[in-house]
Structures are given as C-alpha cells and as structure tokens.
Amino acid sequence: MRKIAATGLATLAVVSAAVFGTAGAAHAVMTAAQNELSGVSCVSAKHCVAVGSSTNAKTGAGTALARIWNGTKWSAVAVRLPAGADDSVLLGVSCMSASYCVAIGAYAKSSGANAPTNAFAVTWKGTGWTAVTLPKPATGAPVTIPTSVSCAAAGKCLAIGMYGTVSGNPRPLAWSLAGTTWTDRKPPAPAGTQSALLTGVSCGSASFCVLAGEASGKASSSTLLDSWNGTSFALMKPAIPAGDALVVLSTVSCASATSCTALGSGISMTNPNSPPGLAERWNGKAWSAARLPAAASRLDLAGISCPTATRCVAAGANANRAAAMSYNGKAWTVTSVPAPAKGTIEVFHSVSCLSATVCVAVGQSGPANGSTSADLAGFWNGKSWKLVTTS
C-alpha cells in the first residue's frame, strides 16, 4: 500500500516528492495539512486502527497520531515516540487483533530540510504503544523512511521503505520482525537499477509476502516486484500486456499465498504520456494483467484491500475528491464516493476490508487552499460510501 504523507517532516517531504513525482499526487494536494490519516487496519467492524500525522501549520513540524474505531466513534490514542523525536509521522499500520498492531513511521530529531530521518516502529498491545527505532542500513545513509507494513501473525511482520540521501538515488529497504526483533534486509532490484522505492507490501502468509514498487535506470523506469519467503527475497516477473513497454505497480494486497492483486499502470509504447490503469493478479505461480476500465483512467489509487481471492476494494483520489473501485472476481467497477463541498478537497490514502461489504478508507479533508485539514474516514457497505471527519 503507497502511503507517503504530506507532513511537516521536511526531509521526508523533499525525498518523497522527488521519488514519487506525479504518482504521489494524492498525497501532495494539501501541502499545509494539519491532520491526515495515512494508513488503516481493521480486525472487526468494531475495531480499526488508523495512523497518520498532525502538523503544526506555523512551524511545519509534525507529530505522529493514531486513532481507534470502536464501531461507533474514533478516539485519539497517544503515540509513544523514540527519544528525542522532534518531527514525526506514522505511515502504515497492520493489525492482527484488537490487542496487537504494528505501525511504522519516520522521525527527525530536528526540523529542517537537512535533518537526518530515522525509521521507527510502534507496537500496540491493547492499552498503549511501545516504540523502537528500526535498524539503519550498513551504509549509514542519513535518510531512512518506511512506507508500508504487513503482518502475517503477531510478531511476524515485514516493513518496507527506502534509504539514501536528500539529493536522490534512493534504494529499497525492508525490515523483518521476528518476535520483538527487527532486522534490516536488502530486497533485490532489477539489473541496471540506479534508484528504487518500495511502496506496497502484503503478506498472504508468514512465508509469503509480495513487495511492489518502482525502479529507475539510466534510460527508463521499471517494475520492482519481489517476494519474501520469511528468509530470503526473490525477484518476481510481472505480466507485461501487449503494447506496453513496462509496468509500474504501487500497491498490493494478498488474500493468501496463492492470491494477490497489485494495482498500477502500464506504460504504452504508442502513448507514453497516458499510462492506462492496470491490475495484476497472482495465482501462486505467475502474474496475469488486465486493464482497468476507462472510467478509472484519472484515478490515483493509493491503497487496495482484498479480503478474499475474488473481492477487492481500492481507494485513492480523482483530482480533488476521494475515489474508489471494487472488484467482484470478474471485473473492476468505479464506485461513487460523495463529492466534497465546494472549495473542499477530500482524498483517501489507505483502505482496509473485512469483507466485500465492510471496508474502511482513511485520508484527509480540508479547504482547497491547503490552510487546514482534518482526518477523513470513509465506510463502504458494499453499495455506497459514507464519509466522516474524525478530528
């Protein structure tokens, strides 16, 4: 799932803007955002955890935030940060039960464009969060940023992200959790890669996770698609539709080790400036590709959740309004999301589904001038969306 937030973490903003370019549009529409939710994970209709950041509009410094849904309302829960964290954001969360969640984020010990950033994880055990700084790669790169996390069981998680410098050329990074110990890993990238970033991860089992992102070389970009078996990584081969030069995938969800769905776009050889939306499906042996309907051509789908092999919901944005799609096992359909009030922007950043009729999406809502924003949550009942602000 892609979850780089518009936050006060200056280095994060600089690096994410450089890395994502237009692909991160849904996360950049509100550059002066005060509150936003970047990730959500639900274990029941009465328990969801959402994470994000609250930004001081004057100083630009952010503070990581978390909210819990109890089936009736959202409540804020204080996040314990690593010692010395002055600027922080949570970007993704994965829950196994009401008493076990893992969220990942980034922090700096001072604000400013040149402040080094560190990755950290917080674990929820039902009553509060405990924080730990994630290991830095051996290179000692000053910028380390996680983007997503997926847990297959309590104490069995995989987080992904990047490391590098503010000037560019990020490299992919992953961390595996075994019990309470995090270990940094080096996911492989295609030959000739000069920079790469992982943006989505999903674990169909403790021994099967898929990591999706983008790699860039001297001449062009390409898919970064890896699998993780609990011990090691392997490059995966995406399906390339006829007429496409390459495929770029940004978000993925696995219902099991033999059923995953990734979303992104294919870069057409005949019309490279208008990449068609693409869905790739994993059957346990190989990936197959299918075009998204024309109605989805303007959607920036930031997250996907597939509770079963034949049911998925994707969420993101269409210009200044929240947008979503659903999959019924045969075809993708754009679902209607209530339009924001005049002069208001609403976007989704993440979605979590328990079934085809119970999904929660989160993001942000605020005036088009970007002066403020509030947490946004959307509830899908299989037929329609209901939007509420949570702050």
Q: Is 262 within 8 Å of 212 (Cβ atoms)? A: yes
Residue 131 makes CB contacts below 8 A (sequence gap 6+) with 79, 80, 81, 82, 120, 121, 122
So what's the pLDDT on residue 295? 87
Q: What share of the chain is helix, strand, coil (3-state, %, to 5)?
A: 5, 60, 35
Q: Is 205 within 8 Å of 151 (Cβ atoms)? A: no
Q: Is 203 within 8 Å of 155 (Cβ atoms)? A: no
So what's the pLDDT on residue 298? 84
Name the strands in the sheet holding 344-355, side by side, starting at the edge strand that comes first in the sequence: 344-355, 358-367, 374-380, 385-389
Residue of 4, 8, 28 lying closest to 87 (CA atoms): 8
So what's the pLDDT on residue 149? 98
So what's the pLDDT on residue 56? 77
Q: Is 313 within 8 Å of 351 (Cβ atoms)? A: yes
Query: What is the distance of C-alpha 98 from the center of its chain?
Result: 21
Question: For strand 233-235 and strand 208-216, is the pairing parallel, antiparallel, or unpaired?
Answer: unpaired
CA distance 227 to 200: 12
What the block records as the tokens of 32 is 């002066």
So what's the pLDDT on residue 111? 60
96: exposed, middle or buried (Cβ count in 10 Å: 0-12, 13-18, 19+): middle
Name the strands in the sheet holding 100-108, side by side, starting at the edge strand that comes first in the sequence: 87-97, 100-108, 118-124, 129-133
Helix (H, G, I), strand (E, B) or coil at 14: helix
Name the strands in the sheet holding 74-77, side by side, starting at the edge strand that comes first in the sequence: 35-44, 47-55, 62-69, 74-77
For the chain, the distance separating the N- and C-terminal CA atoms, rounded to the nearest angstrom, is 23
Contacts by 41-46, CB closer than 8 A, 24 or more apart = 41/93, 41/94, 41/95, 41/101, 41/352, 42/69, 42/95, 42/352, 42/353, 42/354, 42/358, 42/360, 43/95, 43/96, 43/97, 43/98, 43/354, 44/98, 44/354, 45/71, 45/354, 45/358, 46/70, 46/71
CA distance 154 to 145: 23
Residue of 266, 218, 224 lying closest to 241 (CA atoms): 266
- In order of their start, the domains of the chain are 10-389 (2.130.10.10)
CA distance 7 to 53: 7
CA distance 130 to 243: 49
So what's the pLDDT on residue 370? 72
Single-letter residue type at 242: A
Query: Mean pLDDT, 10 residues at a time, over the chain (391 residues)?
Result: 33 37 34 79 98 83 93 94 90 97 92 77 94 87 92 97 82 96 94 90 97 82 90 94 81 98 80 75 96 88 96 95 96 95 93 98 89 91 93 68
So what's the pLDDT on residue 276? 73
CA distance 119 to 163: 10
Residue 231 makes CB contacts below 8 A (sequence gap 6+) with none
Q: Write the CA distances from 142 to 15, 33, 119, integer angstroms.
A: 12, 25, 11
Beta-bridged to residue 162, according to DSSP, are 145, 172
Q: Is 279 within 8 Å of 304 (Cβ atoms)? A: no
So what's the pLDDT on residue 205? 97
> For residue 243, what is the DSSP state?
T
Beta-bridged to residue 383, according to DSSP, are none
